[in-house]
């Protein structure tokens, strides 16, 4: 059963075997497995369940309603970077581009060293990926829905000697409307509200939406449940209180909120909760061609390539609503209007890089996360080298100019000499223009003292508290993270529910 505001205004008090806090990539798969294992399972989600009618093309309105902090969440530190996380049933899987990539071998080796665990080289880990890929029907983006923008990005990359392929995505019947950032009104995206949460409900789980968890209750070495408030999604007013008593608590509120809830509950093994934070850094560019591209046609992110010469760098084609995209490129007001006619000639290439960064997440007094991330200038250089290469590719296929948004670089790069500016030592990490949507590692997994959870996902020092979300990554994944979050959380929750984990089970 899925409960909404009209059912919950008076608050509630329930008891169950397992409560899962958060319904995103990690929480949904945990809920499905625990319910399948016969445990009476409750899911608590701060945001509402969305219908196709909620998935409006009016991006600012959608972001304001269904993203945390209205889509204006920022990570401070070296620079101020936006960081998007959805606040709805299904979490960020509802708004993401559905790209599914497995953890590369070289990152698995690093994670083995960092976690002191053999988990990432065990056949059960690959079996978990296979189960997830099958359930979400992951397949390469068909050429029929690439549209001219993805194909232009492909041409530019290949011009620069960057060879990739159609991105594997969790979609069925994608029509290439490029609207992934505001959900998928047509229902093609296999977000976890439509898949694993539906499975959990089918197996008897109860899902309480608009239920914001504030505290985990602890008695000695055991947790006994969670408490919080029912929040009206319109106006965000708390309207009722709730308490869920449970034998097992699974935290899945994501990299920003899981550490906040633990800190507010006084749970902080070895002072490591929120003591770390990682994010993929990167950049992006708009190339404006002579030919009409009609960039709003085609899968949001259909084409991508892993750099062969810069370890940890990935190139992706991208689209977003003009009102979001042009804040970086067209600015606002008159500048926006001046650039608007260029839009139909534009294509966008984004870069994602596994930089060595440090960071932290702390609970603010209002229960929201305060995030800082520090990026060394040396880690900006590979991004800038990658940007020059992609910009040269765009110019090579006839772009009139390339815009990067980097303040100390010319607004319009028109020649290969212009793009040399991207290699200037005057540019530092503080100049990178990016949105950090791949965030992880605020409650790292490690069998050593530096870990908040062990390799079974259990919070150190407590018998029955687990974490199933991106916060447990020991460090950045180098590729889009959701497949790995799901594989890790599939294994953790299957072990918890005594379900088989071996290949072909």
Ligand X SMILES: Cc1cc2nc3c(=O)[nH]c(=O)nc-3n(C[C@H](O)[C@H](O)[C@H](O)COP(=O)(O)OP(=O)(O)OC[C@H]3O[C@@H](n4cnc5c(N)ncnc54)[C@H](O)[C@@H]3O)c2cc1C
Residues that bind ligand X (CB under 6 A): 21-27, 44-47, 84-87, 91-93, 95-99, 181, 212-213, 252-255, 257, 261, 437-438, 469-470, 480-483, 485
Shortest Å, Cβ 424 to ligand X: 30
Q: How many residues at the interface with ligand SF4, by CB under 6 A? A: 15
By the 8 A CB rule, do 167 and 136 touch? no
In angstroms, the CA 320 to CA 336 distance is: 15
Q: Does 180 participate in binding ligand SF4 (rule CB under 6 A)?
A: yes
175 binds ligand SF4 (CB under 6 A): yes
The percent of the chain in helix, strand and coil, each rounded to the nearest 5, is: 35, 25, 40
The sign one gets for the Cα dihedral 221, 226, 227, 229 is positive
Of 29 and 288, the one with the shorter C-beta distance to ligand X is 29
Does residue 257 bind ligand SF4 (CB under 6 A)? no
Query: Is residue 176 a contact point for ligand SF4 (CB under 6 A)?
Result: yes
- Out of 2, 21, 132, 177, the only residue in the binding site for ligand SF4 (CB under 6 A) is 177
Structure tokens at 457: 């996902």
Structure letter (DSSP) for residue 319? -
- 179 in contact with ligand SF4 (CB under 6 A): yes
Nearer to ligand SF4, 25 or 216 (CB): 25
DSSP-assigned beta bridge partners for residue 313:
353
Binding partner of residue 96 among ligand SF4, ligand X, none, CB cut-off 5 to 8 Å per kind:
ligand X
Angle at CA of residue 248, ends 499 and 448, nearest 5°: 80
Bridge partners (DSSP) of residue 44 are 21, 208
If one asks whether residue 184 binds ligand SF4 (CB under 6 A), the answer comes out as yes
Binding test (CB under 6 A) with ligand SF4, winner from 35, 174, 305, 462: 174
Residue 469 interacts with, from ligand X, ligand SF4, none (CB under 5-8 Å by kind): ligand X
503 has which bridge partners?
none
Q: Which is nearer to ligand X, 99 or 275 (CB)?
A: 99
Residue linked to tokens 């309207």 = 239
By CB under 6 A, the residues from 267 to 306 that bind ligand SF4 are 299-300
Spatial separation of the C-alpha atoms in residues 193 and 125, rounded to whole Å? 23
From the list ligand SF4, ligand X, none, pick the one residue 193 interacts with, judged by a Cβ distance below 5 to 8 Å according to partner type. Answer: none
Smallest gap, in angstroms, from Cβ of residue 211 to ligand X?
6
Q: Which two tokens stand for residue 107?
A: 């990152």
Q: Is the dihedral of CA 383, 389, 392, 394 positive or negative?
A: negative
413 binds, among ligand X, ligand SF4, none (CB under 5 to 8 A by kind): none
312/355 Cα distance (integer angstroms):
8
Task: Compute the distance between CA of residue 395 and CA of residue 390 in angstroms, rounded to an integer.
Answer: 9
Q: Where are the alpha helices (DSSP H) in 265-308?
A: none
The item of ligand X, ligand SF4, none sharing an interface with residue 91, based on CB under 5 to 8 Å by kind, is ligand X
Query: Which residues make up the interface to ligand SF4 (CB under 6 A)?
Result: 98, 171, 174-180, 184, 186, 188-189, 299-300
């Amino acid at each position: 059963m899925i409960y909404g505001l009209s059912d919950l205004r008076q608050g509630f008090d329930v008891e169950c075997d397992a409560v899962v806090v958060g319904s995103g990539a990690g929480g949904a798969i945990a809920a499905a497995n625990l319910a399948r294992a016969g445990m009476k399972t409750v899911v608590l989600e701060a945001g509402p369940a969305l219908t196709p009618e909620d998935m409006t093309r009016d991006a600012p309105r959608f972001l304001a309603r269904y993203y945390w902090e209205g889509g204006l969440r920022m990570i401070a530190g070296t620079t101020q970077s936006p960081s998007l996380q959805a606040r709805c049933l299904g979490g960020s899987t509802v708004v993401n581009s559905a790209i599914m990539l497995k953890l590369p071998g070289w990152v698995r080796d690093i994670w083995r060293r960092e976690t002191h665990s053999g988990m990432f080289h065990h056949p059960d880990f690959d079996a978990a990926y296979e189960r997830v890929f099958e359930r979400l029907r992951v397949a390469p983006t068909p050429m029929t829905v690439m549209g001219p923008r993805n194909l232009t990005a492909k041409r530019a990359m290949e011009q620069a000697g960057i060879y990739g392929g159609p991105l594997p995505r969790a979609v069925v019947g994608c029509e290439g409307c490029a609207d992934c950032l505001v959900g998928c009104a047509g229902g093609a995206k296999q977000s976890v509200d439509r898949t694993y949460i539906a499975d959990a409900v089918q197996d008897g789980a109860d899902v309480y939406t608009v239920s914001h968890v504030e505290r985990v209750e602890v008695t000695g070495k055991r947790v006994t449940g969670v408490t919080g408030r029912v929040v009206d999604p319109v106006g965000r007013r708390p309207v009722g209180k709730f308490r869920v008593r449970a034998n097992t608590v699974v935290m899945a509120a994501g990299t920003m909120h899981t550490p906040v809830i633990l800190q507010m509950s006084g749970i902080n093994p070895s002072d490591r909760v929120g003591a770390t934070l990682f994010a993929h850094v990167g950049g992006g560019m708009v190339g404006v061609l002579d030919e009409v591209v009609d960039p709003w046609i085609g899968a949001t992110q259909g084409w991508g390539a892993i750099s062969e010469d810069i370890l940890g760098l990935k190139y992706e084609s991208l689209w977003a609503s003009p009102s979001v995209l042009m804040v970086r490129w067209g600015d606002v007001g008159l500048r926006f209007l001046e650039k608007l006619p260029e839009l139909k000639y534009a294509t966008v290439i984004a870069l994602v890089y596994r930089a060595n960064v440090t960071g932290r997440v702390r609970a603010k007094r209002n229960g929201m996360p305060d995030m800082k991330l520090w990026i060394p200038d040396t880690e900006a250089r590979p991004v800038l080298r990658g940007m020059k290469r992609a910009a040269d590719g765009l110019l090579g296929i006839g772009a009139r100019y390339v815009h990067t948004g980097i303040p100390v670089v010319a607004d319009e790069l028109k020649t290969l000499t212009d793009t040399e500016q991207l290699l200037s030592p005057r540019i530092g990490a503080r100049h990178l223009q990016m949105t950090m949507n791949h965030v992880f590692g605020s409650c790292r997994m490690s069998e050593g003292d530096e870990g908040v959870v062990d390799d079974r996902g259990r919070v150190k020092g407590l018998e029955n508290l687990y974490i199933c979300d991106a916060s447990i990554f020991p460090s950045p994944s180098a590729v889009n993270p959701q497949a790995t979050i799901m594989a890790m959380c599939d294994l953790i929750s299957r072990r918890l529910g005594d379900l088989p984990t071996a290949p072909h089970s």
